[in-house]
């Protein structure tokens, strides 16, 4: 019989045999962000469309081409989030989090949605870990944010990463830069793609981010933003570099980085690798001091970054980084007869309450099939109980690796004695 449907193009399933890898990476991200004072925020998967149009930017590819937008039954236009920052900023404003003290430090894990051509490292549903900080314009915050990203990569033992940084200035100095860019690209109007020709009037910086080989080639000799920074932006960028130097974080200044979203100002950065092909940016971020005002709030300087989970796992796999295996079953209890099944339920409850993983048959297999299943799931120990074991109030626990057997009483001390047995055998488990 044929399946009635399969997963939608551009989406992927994370199966039980793979999910432990995600959990491992997520735990490290939570641990490191906690050390830097960040706490988790959770926002809705869809928002009013105007939030992304205003926050992300009307001239971006995300808004113009990639958003999943639809009308509700009530006639509202809503959009599945294409990124995490706008929703977090909306939550900060709506709940007046600035009244709880500054800076506001938030982290999140989100699924995002963009209608793009699926390829390795680029899906239509993808997942991000993000960091948001509100209420500071001090360049030390920029450096600290980058240090947090670096600490995550260090914990994951990822290498072959380049940190590239830039400053795209403030609205004042960027206006002069836009004039220079427009003048430069005007000479190539006949060669630019249609999208970039439309950007030429609205936001010429977007041309620098075009993926077209022709536009990219033309952009190589375009004016550099670093030559147009005002004194304040120059000082800010210089200070960020001095703090990174003090922290021992290596970086390269890349004046071509502009990032793909309109809300960025001053510092922008990317962690890039060459080991997974074209989609080599695994973390990107920077400062967006005008975002809160754009969404209707008072001036609240902000900054943050996002890491792509799928790409990060691809990098780890390509570099041969071993992720610890998922915790295996400590004890499998096989049963013969109804009385044994009742006893098994009692014993697995004991073992689970002690913090160990225990399983018993829930399908109705025969004894031989139960033991095959115990071996298949990698159970470290097995226990077989039937009427005789219940009558004697004891049974033999078998080490599935060595075959060694130990008799344990089937009473309230069972879980405690089983834990001691494993410790004595020097097995790798957690109580």
Whether pLDDT at 398 is above 50: yes
Task: Tell me which residue of 250, 198, 191, 252 sits closest to 221, measured CA to CA.
Answer: 191
HSE-CB of 135 using CA atoms within 13 angstroms:
13
Under 8 Å CB-to-CB from 174, ≥6 apart: which residues?
168, 205, 225, 228, 265
pLDDT digits (tens, 9 = 90+) for 71-95: 999 999 999 999 999 999 999 999 9
- What is the residue-wise DSSP string for 188-229? TTTTS-HHHHHHHHH-GGGGGG---HHHHHHHTTSPPGGGS-
Tokens of 281: 């940016």
* Residue 55 vs residue 430, higher pLDDT: 55
Q: How confident is the model at residue 305 (pLDDT cuts 50, 70, 90)?
A: very high
Tokens of 186: 């005007």
CA dihedral 184, 189, 194, 196 (to 10 degrees): 0
Instruction: Quote the Cα angle for 267-261-97, to 5°.
Output: 75
3-state secondary structure of 51: helix
Comparing 8-22, 28-42, 56-70, 392-406, the range with the smallest average pLDDT is: 56-70
How many Å separate Cα 427 from the centre of its chain? Answer: 32
Distance CA 195, CA 184 (A): 17
**Percent of the chain at pLDDT above 90?**
83
Across the chain, mean pLDDT equals 94
Distance CA 47, CA 259 (A): 23
* Residue 20 vs residue 429, higher pLDDT: 20
| pLDDT confidence of residue 260 | 63
Mean pLDDT calculated for residue range 140-146: 98
Superfamily of domain covering 16-170+230-318: Bira Bifunctional Protein; Domain 2 (3.30.930.10)
Whether pLDDT at 429 is above 50: no
Question: Where do the domains of the chain lie?
Answer: 16-170+230-318, 331-424
pLDDT digits (tens, 9 = 90+) for 321-362: 999 988 899 999 999 999 999 999 999 999 999 999 999 999
| pLDDT confidence of residue 299 | 95
Whether pLDDT at 427 is above 50: no
Environment class of residue 343 by beta-carbon count within 10 Å: exposed (0-12), middle (13-18) or buried (19+)?
Answer: buried
The domains spanning 16-170+230-318 and 331-424 adopt the same CATH topology:
no
State the CATH architecture for 331-424.
3-Layer(aba) Sandwich (3.40)
């Amino acid at each position: 019989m044929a399946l009635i449907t399969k997963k939608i193009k551009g989406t992927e399933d994370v199966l039980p045999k793979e999910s432990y890898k995600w959990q491992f990476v997520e735990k490290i991200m939570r641990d490191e962000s906690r050390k830097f004072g960040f706490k988790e925020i959770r926002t809705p998967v869809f928002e009013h469309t105007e939030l992304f149009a205003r926050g992300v930017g009307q001239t971006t590819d995300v808004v113009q081409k990639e958003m999943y937008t639809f009308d509700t039954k009530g006639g509202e236009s809503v959009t599945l989030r294409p990124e995490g920052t706008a929703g977090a900023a909306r939550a900060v404003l709506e709940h007046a989090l600035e009244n709880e003290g500054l800076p506001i430090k938030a982290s999140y894990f989100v699924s995002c949605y963009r209608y793009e051509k699926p390829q390795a490292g680029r899906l239509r549903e993808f997942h991000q870990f993000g960091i948001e900080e509100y209420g500071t314009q001090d360049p030390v915050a920029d450096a600290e944010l980058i240090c947090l990203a670096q600490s995550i990569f260090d914990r994951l033992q990822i290498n072959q990463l380049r940190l590239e940084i830039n400053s795209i200035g403030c609205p004042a100095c960027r206006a002069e830069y836009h004039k220079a860019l427009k003048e430069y690209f005007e000479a190539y109007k006949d060669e630019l793609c249609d999208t970039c020709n439309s950007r030429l009037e609205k936001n010429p910086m977007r041309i620098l981010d075009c993926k077209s080989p022709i536009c990219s080639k033309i952009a190589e000799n375009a004016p550099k933003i670093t030559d147009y920074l005002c004194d304040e932006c120059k000082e800010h960028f210089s200070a960020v570099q001095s703090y990174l130097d003090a922290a021992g974080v290596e970086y390269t200044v890349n004046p071509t980085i502009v990032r793909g979203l309109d809300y960025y100002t001053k510092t922008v950065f990317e962690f890039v690798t060459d080991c997974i092909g074209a989609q080599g940016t695994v973390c990107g971020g920077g400062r967006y001091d005008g975002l809160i005002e754009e969404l209707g709030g008072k001036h609240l300087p902000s900054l943050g970054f996002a890491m792509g989970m799928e790409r990060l796992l691809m990098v780890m796999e390509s570099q041969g980084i071993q992720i610890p295996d998922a915790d295996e079953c400590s004890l499998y209890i096989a049963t013969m007869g109804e009385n044994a099944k009742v006893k098994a339920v009692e014993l697995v409850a004991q073992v689970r309450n002690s913090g160990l993983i225990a399983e018993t048959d829930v399908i109705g297999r025969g004894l031989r099939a139960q033991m095959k299943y115990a071996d298949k799931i990698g159970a470290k120990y097995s226990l077989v109980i039937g009427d005789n074991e219940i009558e004697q109030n004891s049974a033999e626990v078998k080490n599935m690796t060595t075959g060694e057997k130990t008799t344990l009483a089937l009473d309230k001390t069972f879980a405690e004695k089983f834990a001691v047995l494993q410790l004595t055998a020097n097995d790798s488990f957690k109580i």
